Amino acid sequence: MNTVDFLAYEPHFIDHLAPVWHALDPRIRGRFLTDPDLMKRARDLDIPALGIVAPKPRPRQPGAVFDGTPALVASYGDIKKGRRMGYGPFAFLEHGIAQSYAGDRTARSHASYSGGADRGDVELNLVPNDNARARWREAYPDARTVVVGCPKLDTLPSREPGPGPVVAFSFHFPCSVVPETRPAFGTYLEALEEVARQYTVIGHAHPRYFGMDRRYRRLGIEYVPDFTDVCRRADLYVCDNSSTIYEFASTGRPVLVLNAPSYRRNVDHGLRFWEAADVGIQVDRAKDLLPAIAEALEDDAELQQGREIALDIVYGHRSGAAERAAAEIASWLGQRAEVAA
C-alpha cells in the first residue's frame, strides 16, 4: 500500500498537519519529518516525528517534476525542502485561512500564497474556503482542489477557568511582500503600554517575528509562544494580520482587528483584507484601542453576528476538516496506485 510522508519545518505547520496525521489510516502514514529542534513540539502533539537535519540540495531543472515519495506539506518552503530531499508529487494543506494578496499585482503570483507560482508538482490542494479554491483552480486546473476547512480548529482549547479579563496581543512578522504583511506593533506600542496598566495582558506573535519575547518583557508583559496556551488563557485576542484571529474567534470569543496606517483600504485582497475583516471591531488609530477593548469584551449580539458571518467566509467547514483531508489523501494515493499498476 502506498504511503505519504509529512514534512513540517516550522512549529505552526506541525500544528496544522498533526490533526491530519492522527486522522489518516495508519497503513498509509509514512514518516513525519521535522527539524530536530522541533521534535518536542511534535511529541507534545503525540507525533512520532523523525528529525532531519538540513537536507542536501538536489539539482532540479525549472519545471521538472519528481516522481518519488508523495509528501503532504503546509507551506511553499517545505515543498522546496521536499524537492531537495527527492520528494514529489505533493499534497498541499493550506495553513490558516489561506490569506493571499492578489489585490496587489506585484504579489498576485507570489509562490507563498494561494494560486502562486511554482506548484506544478502539487497534485492535491486541501483548502479552507472558496476563495483559496478559486485561486488554485484558476492557476492549476489539472490539480484537484478541495475545500476541507481547517484541521487545527478541532484541536483548539476553550478558555480555562481563571481570573480575567485577560487580553492577548499578537502581531504579524515583518514581511515585505505588501504593506498589509507588515506588523502594526509600532503603531500601537504606546497604547499597548496603557492597556497593560489597566488589564491583564499576555503577548504572542507570529513564529517568525523574532525577538518579540524581549519586546514584551520590556513592557512588563508575559510572552506566551504557544497559541493553544493563548486560547486557554485569553478572553479577547487582539491582532493585526494572522489566521489566528479567526482561529481564536472560532472558539466563540471576541477578537479585535488592528489596522496599520500602511494597510490600504482601496486594495482588496479578500478575507482579512477586507471581506472578512469584520470578524471583530476594527481599530485604525492607537487612541481608539482602549475603548475598543472595553466594547469587544462586552461581546454583544451585533459583534457575535459579525463574527459568525466572517467565520463562514473563511471556513467552508468548521469541524471535521482533518477527516476530510485524510479521506482526500487516501483517495489521491489510491488513484496514483491505480495509474502505476
Over residues 139-153, the pLDDT tens digits come to 999 999 999 999 999
Per-residue exposure over 241-267, b if at least 16 CB sit within 10 Å of its own CB, e if not: bbbbbbbbbbeebbbbbbbbeebeeee
Predicted pLDDT of residue 63: 47
Collapse the DSSP code of 60 into the 3-class scheme (helix H, G, I; strand E, B; otherwise coil) and give the result.
coil
Report H helices in the chain: 11-23, 39-44, 76-84, 130-139, 185-198, 212-218, 227-233, 244-249, 289-298, 301-314, 321-340
Set of cell numbers at residue 48: 512520532
Report pLDDT for 67: 53
Instruction: Report phi then psi at 150, rounded to 5.
Output: -120, 110
pLDDT of residue 340: 75
Q: What is the pLDDT of residue 270?
A: 96
Distance CA 64, CA 87 (A): 12
Could you please report the per-residue DSSP string of 188-227?
Answer: HHHHHHHHHHHSEEEE---TTSTTHHHHHHHTT-EE---H
Spatial distance between the Cα atoms of 242 and 230, rounded to a whole number of angstroms: 14
pLDDT at 264 over 70: yes
Number of H helices, E strands in the chain: 11, 13
pLDDT tens digits along 46-68: 999 988 765 554 545 444 444 57
Q: Rounded CA gap, 299 and 295, in Å?
A: 7
Length of the chain: 341
Q: Measure CA 99 to chain center.
A: 9
Q: What confidence tier does 86 reach under pLDDT thresholds 50, 70, 90?
A: confident
Type of residue at 13: F
Residue (of 297, 296, 290) closest to 198 by Cα position: 290
- Cα(289)–Cα(282) distance, rounded to whole angstroms? 9
What is the residue type of 59? P
From 1-15, 197-211, 264-278, the region with the lowest mean pLDDT: 1-15
pTM: 0.94
Q: What are 4's three cell numbers?
A: 505519504
Dist. CA 92–CA 102, nearest whole Å: 19
pLDDT tens, position by position, 179-229? 999 999 999 999 999 999 999 999 999 999 999 999 999 999 999 999 999
Q: pLDDT at residue 1 above 80?
A: no
Cell numbers standing for residue 124? 492535491
Instruction: Measure CA of the first residue to CA of the last residue in the chain; give whole Å.
Output: 12
Contact 51, 39 (CB under 8 A): yes
SS3 180: helix
Q: Contact, 235 vs 160, CB < 8 A? A: no
